[in-house]
Amino acid sequence: MARKIALEPRDERVVVTAQHVTKTFLLRHTRSIKEAVVWLFKGRKKDITNEFQAMDDVSFDIADGESVALMGFNGSGKSTTLKLISGVMHPDGGAVGIKGKVAGLIEVGAGFHPDLTGHDNVYLNGAILGMTKEEIDAAYDDILEFADIGDFINTEVKFYSSGMYLRLAFSVAVHTNPDVFLVDEILAVGDEPFQEKCKALIRSMVRDGKTIVIVSHDLDMVEKFCKRGLVMERGRLVFDGPCDQAVRFLRGRALDGSEDPERPPLSEAEKAKRLFTDEERAAVPVRVRIGGPPLTAAERV
Ligand SMILES: Nc1ncnc2c1ncn2[C@@H]1O[C@H](COP(=O)(O)OP(=O)(O)OP(=O)(O)O)[C@@H](O)[C@H]1O
């Protein structure tokens, strides 16, 4: 469970809040025995581990019924953010608050036991996600129908393909009827018909006003599904606004390479190819403060 904090009474519609969240990972460097001996004899000068800040003072609120896309380049901190919301990970600093039941697909098969059959895992996973036995009994046929894995339901899940895992895990998660539904990129391992089925389901959830947070690199898809977009960059939240603007912002970053600290300044020809002019960037507000004075997109670029 995520650390519970008192949600600000200023807006009771808020169902997820992240306040000044930081998360640091310890990176261990593997060394050969020879390198380790040299390291010992040289007085253990350089640390054998170093820290990596995956989330750096990230704050946002998500209101009931919002559909939010969490975007950014590889390693920007999206999955870590989702894990903190789901409660499988805790922040080092700041706080994450959740109102209601959270479920979704963060890692395919997380919560599945490899030696149990699909059937037994439905009950195990359903219980982990907060369902009672009666609720699972009532939803069981629907779970099976949506997963559509036939007789494999009676096979141990260690023999499943990754797509079968996804089908069953997604189906259980959906049928827990969560208040906040989280979806990570993992839809990618399903075949096309199943992906379409999931997308149709997500679309209907959005229509029904369910709170959804989607992490995806499929910008066309998230633009269709989500009203709001958050863009992360090296552990920081750099954009929070309408999803179409967030997608343009991210594509602009990809084109002008401005997220790469090693990159030399842009040539005039490269600048001409950018989606956003400097004036347009200045006009796009960054709604979430990242500490310090209020920012505009132009100041961040
Ligand atoms: N358990 C962990 N231990 C060490 N480092 C980690 C751990 N989990 C994530 N990281 C690091 O934190 C950073 C952010 O990872 P995260 O998975 O949140 O990024 P992401 O934006 O989801 O990336 P991608 O688009 O590639 O999935 C990465 O550099 C990653 O290597």
What digits encode the pLDDT tens for the residues 221-248? 899 999 999 999 989 999 999 999 999 9
Instruction: Tell me what the mean pLDDT of segment 181-194 comes to.
Output: 79
Residue 272's pLDDT is what?
Answer: 53
- Give the pLDDT band of residue 293 (cuts 50, 70, 90): very low
Domain contains 148: yes
- Give whole-number Cα distances, 192 to 60, 136, 187, 281, 293, in Å: 33, 28, 10, 36, 46
Instruction: Please answer whether residues 149 and 164 qualify as being in contact, where contact means their C-beta atoms are separated by less than 8 angstroms.
Output: yes
What digits encode the pLDDT tens for the residues 20-57?
899 998 776 666 777 777 777 777 666 656 778 899 99
| 23 CA closest ligand 1 atom index | 12
Q: Does the structure show a pLDDT above 90 at 279?
A: no
Domain contains 290: no
Domain contains 297: no
Side chain identity at residue 59, one-letter code: S
Q: Distance (Å, rounded) from C-alpha 229 to C-alpha 248?
A: 10
- Give the pLDDT band of residue 258 (cuts 50, 70, 90): low
**Which range has highest mean pLDDT (50-59, 208-217, 279-288)?**
208-217
State the average pLDDT for the chain: 78
CATH number at residue 227: 3.40.50.300
Ligand 1 center–CA 24 separation, angstroms: 10
For every residue of the chain, which 3-state class applies, written as one string?
CCCCCCCCCCCCCEEEEEEEEEEEEEEECCCCHHHHHHHHHCCCCCCCEEEEEEEEEEEEEEECCCEEEEEECCCCCHHHHHHHHHCCCCCCEEEEEECCCEEEECCCCCCCCCCCEHHHHHHHHHHHCCCCHHHHHHHHHHHHHHHCCHHHHHCEHHHCCHHHHHHHHHHHHHHCCCCEEEECHHHHHCCHHHHHHHHHHHHHHHHCCCEEEEECCCHHHHHHHCCEEEEEECCEEEEEEEHHHHHHHHHHHHHHCCCCCCCCCCCHHHHHCCCCCHHHHHHCECCCCCCCCCCEHHHHC
Q: Which two tokens stand for residue 151?
A: 């007789």
Which residue range(s) make up the domain with 146? 14-42+49-256
Ligand 1 center–CA 224 separation, angstroms: 26
117 - beta bridge partners? Answer: 156
Domain contains 198: yes
When comparing pLDDT for 285 and 81, which is higher?
81
Residue 241's pLDDT is what?
Answer: 92
Instruction: Please answer whether residues 176 and 143 qualify as being in contact, where contact means their C-beta atoms are separated by less than 8 angstroms.
Output: no
| 27 CA closest ligand 1 atom index | 4
Chain Cα centroid distance, residue 59: 15
Complex ipTM above 0.90?
A: yes
Count: domains in the chain:
1
Residue 29's pLDDT is what?
Answer: 64
Q: How many CB atoms lie within 10 A of CB 218?
A: 17
Instruction: Tell me what the mean pLDDT of segment 103-109 comes to.
Output: 69
Query: Of all protein residues, whose CA lies closest to atom 26 belonging to ligand 1?
Result: 74
Domain contains 220: yes
Domain contains 265: no
Ligand 1 center–CA 235 separation, angstroms: 9
Q: Which residues line ligand 1 (CB under 6 A)?
A: 25, 27, 52, 54, 72, 74-80
By percentage, how much of the chain surpasses pLDDT 90?
30
Q: Distance (Å, rounded) from C-alpha 130 to C-alpha 116?
A: 19
Residue carrying the six token digits 């894990």: 83
96 - beta bridge partners? Answer: 18
Residue 271's pLDDT is what?
Answer: 53
Domain contains 271: no
Domain contains 278: no
Instruction: Tell me what the mean pLDDT of segment 284-295 comes to.
Output: 33
Per mean pLDDT, which range of 17-26, 56-65, 102-111 is the poorest? 102-111
Among 150, 167, 54, residue whose Cα is nearest residue 105? 167
Q: Does the structure show a pLDDT above 80 at 259?
A: no
Of 26, 27, 78, the one to substitute when testing ligand 1's pocket (max ligand atoms within 8 A of C-beta) is 78
Residue 227's pLDDT is what?
Answer: 93
Residue 202's pLDDT is what?
Answer: 87
